[in-house]
A and B are shown apart, each in its own frame.
Chain A
Amino acid sequence: MTRTMTTYSPGDMAEFARQARVHILDAVKHANGGHVGGPLSAADMLAALYFGILNVRPDEPDWPGRDRFVLSKGHSSIALYTMLALRGYFPVEELLTFDSINSRLQGHPDMTLTPGIDMSSGSLGLGFAAALGIALGARVTGRDFTTFVMLGDGECNEGIVWEGAHVAARYGLDSIVAIVDHNKLQQFGWAGDSPDDRISPYTGSQLADRWRAFGWEVMEMDGHDIPEILRTLEAAKQVEGAPAVVVAHTVKGKGVSFMEGNYTWHSRVPNDEEFALAMHELGESEGGAT
């Protein structure tokens, strides 16, 4: 059997990210619930991963040699489901079963249900630890795939993240690439000058500095610039002797003007008017996903 390798251009990936944003909002609207802001901030990076970086076989989701991806910020599940569907793991139509009874597409990822999900997650920080275990297990069993794990910046509040960061550096776990979706907002977070003004959990270089202090090789990138994402993740893969983390500067709610940088869109269902406006901004003139 021969496999035809399809290669995708950065422009293709940007288009998949655009389609993903449409499907994310469509699924959340349809389910009348779900997260929006985090999935939108992660969409470009997921498109680059699934169409440019990860060595995977959608027709053979459990292929042992595949690169692993763990979405530790599991509440952004709909973004991952959307990318898996676009990549061919399951039909795009199935996205509308998100969060409904008996669906394979649970609110938070379930490795026992969904093709292409390498690890269950949802309670923040746990997916990161599991990803480190996959990378360590790969070393023990002599496999050379890369394990990618995406965390949120709010997730970095969790103590387990720094437990794992310490142990991974201790073992020089260089087959792991962590990506922190630094979208500068969490669900509610700390208040700024007024209660309506919520501030970033980490300011300036704080997040990068912390990872560096824990012994990780730290890179930074614009998490919405596809060529830069591709370059940075490839470079992170090449790091030897230490675990690598990419702090991705992103905008929560990216792609829909009134959701961008607004913490209330962490999890919120757009009303009909908001939905139509969002679809228009995302280039869907008919006001719905195709």
Chain B
Amino acid sequence: MSEYKNVSRPVRKKDAMALVTGKPVYTDDLAPADCLVVKLLRSPHAHALIEDIDISAAMKVPGIEAVFTYKDVPNERFSIAGQTYPEASPYDRLILDKRVRFVDDAVAIVAGENEKAVDKALKLIKVKYDVLEPLLDFRKAKDNKILVHPEDNWRSLCPVGADNKRNLCASETSEHGDLEKAFAESDVVFENTYHTQANQQAMMETFRAYSYMDTYGRLNVVTSTQIPFHVRRILSNALCIPKSKIRVIKPRIGGGFGAKQTAVMEMYPALVTYKTGKKAKMIYTRQESQTASSPRHEMEIKLKIGAMRDGTIKAIDMYTLSNSGAFGEHGPTTVGLSGHKSIPLYNRAEAYRFVYDVVYTNYMAAGAYRGYGAPQGMFAMESAIDELSHILNIDPIEIREKNMVREGDTMNAYYGEPANSCALDRCLDRARKLMDWDSKYPSKDMGNGKVRAVGMAMAMQGSCISSLDTGSVTLRVNDDGFYTLLIGASDMGTGCDTILAQMAADCLCCDVDDIIVHGVDTDSSPYDSGSYASSTTYITGMAVVKTCETLIAKLKHYAKPFLECCNEEDMEFNGREIINTKTDKKVSLKDIAYSSQNNNDAEALCATESHSSPISPPPFMVGMAEVEVDKETGKVELINYKAVVDCGTVINPNLARIQTEGGLVQGIGMALYEDVVYNEKGGTLSNSLMQYKIPTRQDICDIQVEFEPSYEPTGPFGAKSIGEIVINTPPPAIANAVYNAVGVRIRELPITPEKIYNGMKRNED
């Protein structure tokens, strides 16, 4: 059992009962009924210039308040990526542009009193397009004669190797050691190419926001977002108005998974409110969330590995080509994780090189999705390591044990950061036992036309963006001695409000219920870069620890006259009272709190601290899949999935378990059927939950999750992150299991029955 009263215990989420009883706590539940309905006219072409746009008939529809086109918006480019300023993502967007760059790109904004009127007006807008040839092959995008962003006011704020005249959103080379020599000395050099698809986050609550002008003439935007403070900056850039004129509020949000780390649509209702002064609301349909949103980057990864006959990996050379689509949100940053989170798993390699290009194409823009490039890299790396193990005739566990990163290592391919805490070896041992790997590997013919087999994969992630992510919290003592914890981190259902309160409660020796958590409102919350990069527990959690320390020091200072004590070292705070350990004289927190509100002794008993970290300690995990493959049809049935995770100290075992199970199932969807599919003209075919299938409860198998904690000295209570790593293992583990079952190596996701069947047929021939 936990040594703490709150941390490492399965505390119920603070908002749980409101959520399970269906209380109106989400954006659309809170929006005033008299908001204008805002919708978009979207492009039918993947690439075109708007020659002429006639809105006169649309404006005549009764109830229509406004129609805006590219002529009505500022010509200053910006990025809608939720990243710390200056963003790595290029400034390549306008709210509406004369050039449309993908099928369903925004052409006009219509606002009206009701949906019927708006729908009617949308049909009456006449657009004449100069249709251009689209760029629809990401392998040919670099230096193609078709330019997605030829405009002169395109800007890249950071040195990420971007060049709009080459369709490059980013490019970079990083290396360590003498690669040529390491390959030359290798007994075996293995090389292959892996391809992962775009996937939709498919959070149940689609993108949505509403806006209004407040008493002070400021634009207020209530939005379902992971990044309230970035949304404030993005809207300021988009509308060309000062940030001081904007307030962003995040209510409960119905899932994000990275989708809402991009301000996909806040600018549209915001523009309407800013221009008309009226309340405006926009609810993205599921179709819009599938066709004009922020899915995972499609990547093609070429991997070359040099190894000795005994399995020692000497050299790793990776090239990633990432498809950013029509805009560059998160393009320059996601790609880095494909190498920087996969290569260091094999940290014993003498040399590595990691090269990437991120290219523009005329598809829907990609964005951030749980794992943020790591799942793509992990699919390539963990598939390739298995392939190498087969070439060398070494057990896939053994080759990993021989080469894996271990506690105390310096991870060269991970910016030289230290592995202060790493239980990857223990995770592997434990998973091996849970799966009964040794008796199941590689496969067993079930005698009924089906084969069962096991496959495995390792993974790592980060716990923040080093030296960049910032979390701040403010803690106030109120009368009666309860606390208000003001946070800027966005709880998106994951439970960070509760987790941060658990930490605060242990620091302050009180109950979780004594802490009111308030977030997020850019007017009152302290700055937080947002809920992404798995950073909330690690970064904002540490800010909580620091803030509590500061507040306790303040309390002690304040208590001095009450305790007739002038030395804080002689004072002890037990949660209810402060005690002079020399005299046993006590003063209660309640009395201090009341006193601090009193005229004569008034003092603001509150503290604010920020935290950021020079390192991003990786959580580690091992995932093992047991599958049953139908030898006639290629159909894969998942039988078992075992996952053992090292996320440092587990702050809330229930919530960490659900994170893991949820991430695994998203990874299972990515592995087996999730695929953003386009037609030959660039239109999205996977435009609904009817055509883009996510796993149902009948598609999953027995999932067993265990934790193998390490202690991360730089994290709060020894914690690292959990949110993203958990999606990384299923694609390679399942691919490896399928190979072990029927000898078919699938290097292109998703792993469909038809691909497996075709592979088996090829093997026969």
Are A and B genuine complex partners?
Answer: no
**Which positions in A face B, CB cutoff 8 Å?**
none
